Structure 1
């Protein structure tokens, strides 16, 4: 017989023993037990026998006489007297552990328990120890749960332990589950039960090796007596919900320990039978809704249950990388042991009636003993002074050399026009404009403090927004029968005075053209629509209409990519830009400075991007929320991670009819201003055609910074963007010095959920008294 056959035979012989977990007890004073043990000794080859009964009895005698100093010879003599006529081999009990082929001679139950718990005194009084021996605790999920269960067994702070887990031990579990490689493939409940039996063969253990489900959940909680505490350490969110619903029905308290930062969650349904599940953090979610979700799709619910703000920075990093570079959320052995011990401590105090309230608690060892002293404070973003009314008046004087205007504006006219102009698009809805009505002129200023950022090279994106606002003003004025003249950047001494508008008596060579004045009706309705929808090809007539609208501004050009391969390529490139924007400290701060997470935040500032307008799935919304955790970024960068951050771009482009790039011939403020006029014309035409526009311009603006040296960006970001640049220019070929004003998705989409707000006119328009 070769080695393989011999191994196969041994595996078959071991199959029965592989499922064993209850030790066999033999008391030799009982004739039947004596015969059974004799048979066992004959039939089990290689049986290991351990007999330390004398040492146990010496220990028992010394603990019963703590004030005496008993020498070893005297202790052995007391043991002889204590045994009397009873042969040593007949005293106590012989315990056979079949899975380990071990036979161990122990004190019988009463003396065993007395001696084994002696060192609990007086952390636990004898009365408390006796009370704990009547308690039943159930543990569901045996990663953290294994440590909790074995710790309770060590303390003997429980009379019965019920264990449930359907899973078997994998090699990847051995970073946190105390076991041995010979247990690979063995049920986790069997492993834990064996560990407990080898600590205390008299402790009652009940197993549910298929885990808990609808058919056995009530039995787990109630059969053999109602549980006193349920410990939830399972990974399944729908099971977590079902556990609590049923536990609350039967007034059973629930404890959960997450192992990340030792977050311990206690729900005292025994004392508060109407208490909301998970303290009301998850609302009324039906377990069936989330039963079949992927790991990524479960993240929003995990964040609600755990609390995003309570997670460690490394867990946040890991969550970002789930289903990208790692399969699921990680756990460390030290955290599992630490948290499991803390959980066992709390369960003991609950069962003794010492801890009688619900709550969430963090026993984070890294917070107690941090790696570094607390930082001095947050890193401040660069400060750019905002325009004041006085500064605008001085700039207006210099920009027009004090010349009077031909016709005056009424204040009401100016307010109406500025209100519509302020509906123009701007990156991050920063609304980087201030207006001044003075001396018969309307001045448009670049409020650079609102648009200066690392993702917007030289605030050129802000300048494009000013151009869009100027185009909106033109349309609004023409709709009211007004003729306008426009000067763009009239003074080199005032680079942030973007434009000056004057009323004219009638049409003439200085008047702005009447290009598609009928689009004025769309000024208040045009929006950014990020909703996903099934992909539809871009109609040729629509393609031409968007191109013609763009090219109506001299020098403006519009290119599209629409094939599957090209769209997949641009999705990956946009994802690279998104990834860099999130993992870079400053880019991240600036990005999240634009996000408004609640209606109250949005109403308070009336700028920025409301979270609902991003049209994110629950998983993506949760992921974005985690991405604002600055403390997670250093590790993410060090790992070269964040590729999962590209997924949102792929999802967005999946519904694109096409992706367009609007360019101007050169890089410069006036070119970007005119490019902004072109993008507003194109966007209004798209709206009239029922097309949805979604700007995705982070990538070209980061490219622009890299093209000018990459100042402010990390070396890794510059390298990643420089590597991506040739791929981008293959999709959108053009002149080396061209200005890339707007990269955007065009698609068909349903009406958007929510529009971003605009600042009130009173905040952005100053009416001069002179």
Structure 2
């Protein structure tokens, strides 16, 4: 059933849907302010991981995913959106201003909204079903419309190099006591933020094809041997390495994710490699030095017989939205 355009912007509904976006350690590092027909997105610096993310790159990228979610939500509810990104050089925490006007709902917007509502982060291992390179290319091209590069890593030699780099990043972070102390409050957390144990796969005796930053959880996961390189792996990267680029990378991640859902694909962001300066530079070399890697993303198939994934919690809208 088609929704009718309304004259009062449904800010609470849009923000609630926007806040379903993924964020590093589910920190949800955003604030929203609504006035008239305008919605502003701010970075919440109180949620910045100062050791792992000293430049706030992951924070802004997370906000970029929420920004894309907000645009999808508004369009799916029948509102036209005009976005101004990084509108105030004197206020680096103001990341975007959205101007909303009544419009109409089209089927494509409804479909994207449905994908948004279905989206979740499934950290369980993928099946051994291969992901065709052609499908990965199409999804990458779709996502690139949002301002960042999406570079498929399909060459076997390049995949081996990236796998080694990612493992090195994971090892460096595991040996970093400051990183562990900073991440601890957000892992196996209880309440409306952080990653609960029910969203982290249970310990597995087999080393996964790609390492995880979360070692102990309660989410049941098949015990079979992982298959190497049957999944899709892409690098989300940008030509520049500034606040606007990070924001665009987050929008692109969200666009890639929502485009993958109708195909039955699961998506898993891997930000570790960009959080460690050494491995980020190594990944930049893999990309021939032509772009700054912001994160890696895995795409693959999950068992269709698996139980439904528990929803990762979110903060109440009243905590993140100010109405003026």
| Contact 1:432/1:448 (8 A) holds in 2 | yes
1:423 paired residue number: 20
Aligned mate of 2:101, from 498, 501, 504: 504
Give the drift of 1:563: 4.9
- Quick check: 1:701 aligned with 2:275? yes
Q: Where do 1:478-489 residues align within 5 Å?
A: 478-489=75-86
Structure 2 counterpart SS, 1:453: coil
2:286 paired residue number: 731
1:559 paired residue number: 151
- Quick check: 1:579 aligned with 2:185? no
Output the CA distance in 2 between the equivalents of 1:656 and 1:702: 26
Q: Structure 2 vs 1, CA of residues 573 and 540 (structure 1 numbering), >3 Å: closer, same or farther?
A: closer
Aligned mate of 1:672, from 242, 246, 251: 246
> Of the two structures, which has the highest relative contact order with CA contacts closer than 8 Å and spacing of 6 or more?
2
Output the CA distance in 2 between the equivalents of 1:503 and 1:548: 27
Q: Structure 2 vs 1, CA of residues 521 and 415 (structure 1 numbering), >3 Å: closer, same or farther?
A: same
1:537 paired residue number: 130
Deviation readout 1:279-307 (Å, 9 max, x if unpaired): xxxxxxxxxxxxxxxxxxxxxxxxxxxxx
Deviation readout 1:606-634 (Å, 9 max, x if unpaired): 1111223222325589x946xxxxxxxxx
1:461 paired residue number: 58
Aligned mate of 1:443, from 29, 40, 65: 40
TM-score normalized with structure 1 length: 0.37
Q: Structure 2 vs 1, CA of residues 730 and 452 (structure 1 numbering), >3 Å: closer, same or farther?
A: closer
Give the drift of 1:422: 0.4
Aligned length: 300
Q: Structure 2 vs 1, CA of residues 729 and 440 (structure 1 numbering), >3 Å: closer, same or farther?
A: closer
Output the CA distance in 2 between the equivalents of 1:515 and 1:580: 46
Q: Structure 2 vs 1, CA of residues 652 and 611 (structure 1 numbering), >3 Å: closer, same or farther?
A: farther
Which one has a larger percent helix, Structure 1 or Structure 2? Answer: 1
| Contact 1:655/1:747 (8 A) holds in 2 | no
Q: Where do 1:157-196 residues align within 5 Å?
A: none
1:610 paired residue number: 196
- Quick check: 1:519 aligned with 2:103? no
1:178 paired residue number: none
| Contact 1:456/1:702 (8 A) holds in 2 | no
Give the drift of 1:672: 0.9
Give the drift of 1:408: 7.5
1:756 paired residue number: 312
Aligned mate of 1:550, from 137, 143, 148: 143
Structure 2 counterpart SS, 1:456: coil
Give the drift of 1:670: 0.8
Q: Structure 2 vs 1, CA of residues 552 and 755 (structure 1 numbering), >3 Å: closer, same or farther?
A: same
Deviation readout 1:60-88 (Å, 9 max, x if unpaired): xxxxxxxxxxxxxxxxxxxxxxxxxxxxx
Output the CA distance in 2 between the equivalents of 1:438 and 1:491: 17
Structure 2 counterpart SS, 1:494: coil
Structure 1 counterpart SS, 2:120: coil
| Contact 2:137/2:152 (8 A) holds in 1 | no
Deviation readout 1:391-432 (Å, 9 max, x if unpaired): xxxxxxxxxxxxxxxx9744xx11110010001111111111
- Quick check: 1:595 aligned with 2:187? yes
Deviation readout 1:110-148 (Å, 9 max, x if unpaired): xxxxxxxxxxxxxxxxxxxxxxxxxxxxxxxxxxxxxxx
Output the CA distance in 1 between the equivalents of 2:51 and 2:107: 35
Which one has a larger percent strand, Structure 1 or Structure 2? Answer: 2
Output the CA distance in 2 between the equivalents of 1:521 and 1:607: 23
Output the CA distance in 2 between the equivalents of 1:686 and 1:731: 25
- Larger-Rg structure: 1
| Contact 1:428/1:609 (8 A) holds in 2 | yes
| Contact 2:126/2:231 (8 A) holds in 1 | no
Give the drift of 1:725: 4.1
Structure 2 counterpart SS, 1:523: helix
Q: Structure 2 vs 1, CA of residues 572 and 540 (structure 1 numbering), >3 Å: closer, same or farther?
A: closer
Give the drift of 1:681: 0.7
Q: Structure 2 vs 1, CA of residues 589 and 523 (structure 1 numbering), >3 Å: closer, same or farther?
A: same
TM-score normalized with structure 2 length: 0.83
Q: Structure 2 vs 1, CA of residues 624 and 531 (structure 1 numbering), >3 Å: closer, same or farther?
A: closer
Output the CA distance in 2 between the equivalents of 1:534 and 1:504: 44
| Contact 1:408/1:441 (8 A) holds in 2 | no
| Contact 2:284/2:292 (8 A) holds in 1 | no
- Quick check: 1:654 aligned with 2:210? no
Deviation readout 1:141-185 (Å, 9 max, x if unpaired): xxxxxxxxxxxxxxxxxxxxxxxxxxxxxxxxxxxxxxxxxxxxx
| Contact 1:656/1:746 (8 A) holds in 2 | no
Give the drift of 1:545: 2.2
Q: Structure 2 vs 1, CA of residues 498 and 433 (structure 1 numbering), >3 Å: closer, same or farther?
A: same
2:3 paired residue number: none
| Contact 2:51/2:178 (8 A) holds in 1 | yes
